Amino acid sequence: MSLECKVQVFLNNLSEKKAEAIKKALEPDNVDFPENLSFIIENVRTGLVFTFEGKGNIRTLISTIDEVLEQTQVILKVTD
């Protein structure tokens, strides 16, 4: 039996400029993603939604989410 997990992270109350900066900065990291992992960024009215999906090793999924959120935090700090 293989574990499958889907995690959504909502970033609310972002300006259009900040949302676009985050999307552009994270897009290069969304290439050649590890097998059994996926990451999608979607625009919503006032922000972004990150959707992560993983099958198998949950540690890899958690590490990926942690890395993306750390990068997002840095982007938000430099775009203030």
Residue of higher predicted confidence among 31 and 56: 56
- Per CATH, the number for 4-78 is 3.30.310.50
Containing 77, the helix (H) or strand (E) segment is helix 58-78
Residue of higher predicted confidence among 10 and 27: 10
* Torsion angle defined by CA atoms of residues 9, 15, 20 and 21, in that order, rounded to the nearest 10 degrees: -90
Q: Tens digits of per-residue pLDDT, 51-63?
A: 999 998 889 899 9
pLDDT the model gives residue 1: 60
pTM: 0.88
pLDDT the model gives residue 35: 81
Measured distance CA(37)–CA(79) in Å, rounded: 29
Sorting pLDDT into bands at 50, 70 and 90, what band is 29?
A: low
Q: Is 58 left (phi over 0), alpha (psi -120 to 50) or beta?
A: alpha
Sorting pLDDT into bands at 50, 70 and 90, what band is 66?
A: very high
Domain boundaries, the chain: 4-78
